[in-house]
Structure 1
Amino acid sequence: MEPTVLSREETNVIGFTFTANVTEDFEQKHSASTTEALRARKSEIHNQVGKGEYLIQIYPDKDGFDAAVDPFTTLIGVAVSSLTDVPEGMVSHTIPAGTFAKVTHKGPETNLGETYDFLYGSWLCESGYDYAGFDFEYWDERYKPDQENNEIDIYVPLFK
């Protein structure tokens, strides 16, 4: 598994948000219920671009941050061409343009932590890059969370 370093243009996203750590999310199924809520109301979101979904994780600027213990903000949504019409109860967010490391996680979502550990624990430390306090996943037709043939693209913003 070797990340690709690439440039991305700005992406506008509309969806739902929650704050929790990874342990709370897993135990209380925040991501699953938020994804269900998004899919139930997706037709209310105008100007959608593409069919995929984004899971954006915004981490606090905290020394020794540990996602298993420390809460962070998660937004699950869809890309849009304009943020002018945000449905009630939803939020908007812009993923800034920039340089990103992209890696594709392959296998059940329950093994996703191994891919994040590799990205943040090994590759990022050796790459000479720093990260910008958030990352995101892109889910498309390959997203089959409980199956062996599941694939999730993970993007980590980079700077020198």
Structure 2
Amino acid sequence: MFLGTQTIPSKTFIGKSLTMSFAQNRTSELWRSFMPERKIIPDIIGTELYSMEVYPKDFHAAFDATREFEKWAAVEVSNGTAAPEGMTILITPAGQYAVFLHKGPASDGPKTYGYIFGEWLPKSGYQLDNRPHFAVMGEKYKNDDPASEEEIWIPIK
């Protein structure tokens, strides 16, 4: 479900990242590594978790399930916060995002992304921008529970 567009300022995140592809998805491995250590991160803003993707330029021009990208498990922190050992800082530039609500299990995510990239974006008048994509997992996120909810933020221009 399309919630609207939002322009956000630059944000600072601390987390862990792994290089992966859709064919060689390592998301579970990433989150298993991050979750036990997230409590050592100082100056966290809010309670949300962020699943972020940093794609190479023109990644979405033609779908290739084997093409690699960087995926992050992260939290938002105050600007200037130092990353604990074993973690990295990711600063996202300011910009406009299309925001969508995904309801249902995480395993149904491909349906939501199919709608975003196959239907909504081509008809929207917007173009995909080359900035990080992210999902915001707040209080209503319950992983593979049918009642789970998360916001999906797609960078647009």
Task: Decide: shared fold, TM above 0.5.
Answer: yes
Question: 4+ residue runs of structure 1 moved beyond 3 angstroms?
Answer: 62-65
Instruction: Give yes or no for the alignment of 1:21 onto 2:18.
Output: no
What pairs with 1:9-48 in structure 2 (closer than 5 Å)? 9-25=9-25, 30-48=26-44
Report the structure, 1 or 2, having the larger helix content. Answer: 1
2:45 pairs, out of 44, 49, 59, with 49
User: Is the CA contact 2:11–2:79 (under 8 Å) kept in the aligned structure 1?
Assistant: no
Q: Match of 2:155?
A: 157
Q: Which runs of 5+ in 1 are unaligned?
A: none
Q: How many residue pairs align between the two structures?
A: 155
Q: Which runs of 5+ in 2 are unaligned?
A: none
AA aligned opposite 1:124: L
Q: Deviations over 1:31-55 (max 9, x none)?
A: 2222122221112211100011111
Aligned pair in 2 of structure 1 residues 62, 5: CA closer, same or farther (>3 Å)? closer
Q: Match of 2:100?
A: 103
CA RMSD of aligned residues (A): 1.5
- Output the TM-score relative to the length of structure 1: 0.89
Secondary structure, counterpart of 1:46 in structure 2 = coil
- Output the TM-score relative to the length of structure 2: 0.91
Q: Match of 1:72?
A: 69
AA aligned opposite 2:146: E
Q: Percent identity?
A: 28
Instruction: Give yes or no for the alignment of 1:5 onto 2:1.
Output: no
Give the distance between the partners of 2:80 and 2:93, measured in 1 at CA.
14
Q: Match of 1:147?
A: 145
Q: Deviations over 1:80-117 (max 9, x none)?
A: 00344111111111122221100010111111011111
Secondary structure, counterpart of 2:13 in structure 1 = strand
